[in-house]
Amino acid sequence: MREGIAEIAEITERRRYDLKLVLATVALVVLGLIMIASASQMVKLQRVSGPHFYFFYRQLMLAALGIFMMGLFMRVPYHLYEKFAGKLFIAALVLLGAVLVIGTEIRGSSRAIYIANFDFQPVEAAKILLVVFLAAKISEWGDRIRDFKTGFLPLASSGMAMAGMVALQPNISNAVLIAALTFVILFVAGCRVKHILIFGFATLAAAAPFLLHVSKVVTRLKDYIHGGGSATNFQLEQSLIALGSGALFGTGPGRGHQKYRFLPDAHTDFIYSIIGEELGLIGTIVVLLIFVFILRRAVRTAKRAPDSFGYLLALGIGFLIFMSAAVNIMMTTGIIPTAGLPLPFISYGGSSLIASLAAIGIIVNISFEGRERKHTGGMLGLQRTAKAIYAKRA
């Protein structure tokens, strides 16, 4: 009798959605809506006609669609993606190729396809489909990934092919993120470190001549190293002023000044600076901690995943979201050169928001089918966990 009750309790505990992850995600979306309502006021007056809170209403509509997508992906069994991983990856490459041919130009880069009054940026979906593809192939091949020619090379080349197509837009920041994400997933999966280092340096050497011919890259690197009076450096200076003027508790929602023609892109890539100005150091730390919490929930979900595909899929999506947030935050604080990456769930823009919410839905679905597994901490511990899953599957 007791054994039966214990088994029912275990099943009930296991078959439950990760409500904490959902609530953390929704909290970031709500914060994003509040900050967009504040940060986009001058942009609306300068660029568009319509309601005073035009960008807020538009983002609210996109957030509703994104939450619907999150709920949908929460209910779609994640095993289905493994069956179609190859086709989904090819579809992602086709979309990225279509952007180069029929894409809408945004600030000198062909990044979006204009559909029904909505600029769809395929790179946001492509990053998730890359994670699906790598997770599926690594799960299928097992220890074969430790062989350079038959395992590691095809997987790493697939990631670099996608990064190369994104770089041609040119969208260097996302291309670098895709390359870094590929190497992180391969490392966590158990690929040999020497293979990753050799291939990584070779890729960097091959990409360097191309990068040095992209004017934006050269300008931003020079500004980062030497400083200067360019628009990029001005933007960073205004970002730091916003963060500094917020002090500990901020000026209060809607009471910041940097959004009034001082800080460019205040409602998109540099919205973290407005959070710092209006909500203070406390607000920025809370946002950072929520992203750390989301990564921890993704790792927890991976630990409970019933198979290697779910393990790598949850980890890959968790790292994707956290790395995107980390790059944005480091950019706005001047730790790294300026990069055109939005802050997930918070920055204005539909493609990133909808794709990120759908990705969270996938993690939640994996958690629904998961179970607890013994796990060693740290990145090397994640490698050991991956090997243990392969051994169990074999």
Longest dimension (CA), the chain: 76
**Which residues touch 289 (CB under 8 Å, ≥6 apart)?**
none
| DSSP bridge partners of 106 | 109
When comparing pLDDT for 220 and 87, which is higher? 87
DSSP string computed for 321-349: HHHHHHHHHHHHTTSS-------TTTSS-
Q: What is the mean pLDDT of residues 325-352?
A: 92
Rounded Cα–Cα distance for residues 264 and 42 (Å): 10
Look up the pTM and report it: 0.89
Among 32-46, 143-157, 372-386, the least confident range: 372-386
71-to-31, 82, 155, 339, 391 alpha-carbon distances in Å: 20, 20, 31, 31, 33
Looking at every residue in the chain, the average pLDDT score rounds to 87
Instruction: Specify the length of the chain in residues.
Output: 394
Whether pLDDT at 119 is above 80: yes
What's the pLDDT score for residue 105? 78
Here the tokens at position 265 are: 């892109």
Whether pLDDT at 94 is above 90: yes
Q: Is the peptide bond before 170 cis (omega within 30 degrees of 0)?
A: yes
Q: For residue 51, count CB atoms less than 10 angstroms from its CB and return exposed for 0-12, middle for 13-18, buried for 19 or more.
A: exposed
| Contact yes or no for 90/142 (Cβ under 8 A) | no
In the structure, what pLDDT confidence band is assigned to residue 224 with cuts at 50, 70 and 90? confident
Whether pLDDT at 171 is above 80: yes
Here the tokens at position 7 are: 């088994």
Whether pLDDT at 393 is above 80: no
| Contact yes or no for 278/250 (Cβ under 8 A) | yes
When comparing pLDDT for 154 and 222, which is higher? 154
Closest to 304 (Cα-Cα) out of 374, 209, 387, 224: 374
Q: What is the mean pLDDT of residues 109-129?
A: 88
In the structure, what pLDDT confidence band is assigned to residue 228 with cuts at 50, 70 and 90? low
**Which residues touch 259 (CB under 8 Å, ≥6 apart)?**
38, 39, 40, 41, 42, 266, 267, 274
Q: Give the H or E element holding residue 5.
A: helix 2-14
Q: Other C-beta atoms within 10 Å of 294: how many?
A: 25
Closest to 172 (Cα-Cα) out of 230, 221, 114, 119: 221
For residue 284, the number of C-alpha atoms closer than 13 Å in the C-beta half-sphere is 27
Whether pLDDT at 13 is above 60: no
Rounded Cα–Cα distance for residues 252 and 8 (Å): 49
Give the N- to C-terminal CA distance of the chain in Å, as an integer: 34
Beta-strand runs (E) in the chain: 104-106, 109-115, 118-120
What's the pLDDT score for residue 89? 97
| Contact yes or no for 319/184 (Cβ under 8 A) | yes
Pairing of strands 109-115, 118-120: antiparallel
- Helix 378-393, helix 172-189: angle, nearest 10: 60
Q: What is the mean pLDDT of residues 205-221?
A: 85
In the structure, what pLDDT confidence band is assigned to residue 3 with cuts at 50, 70 and 90? low
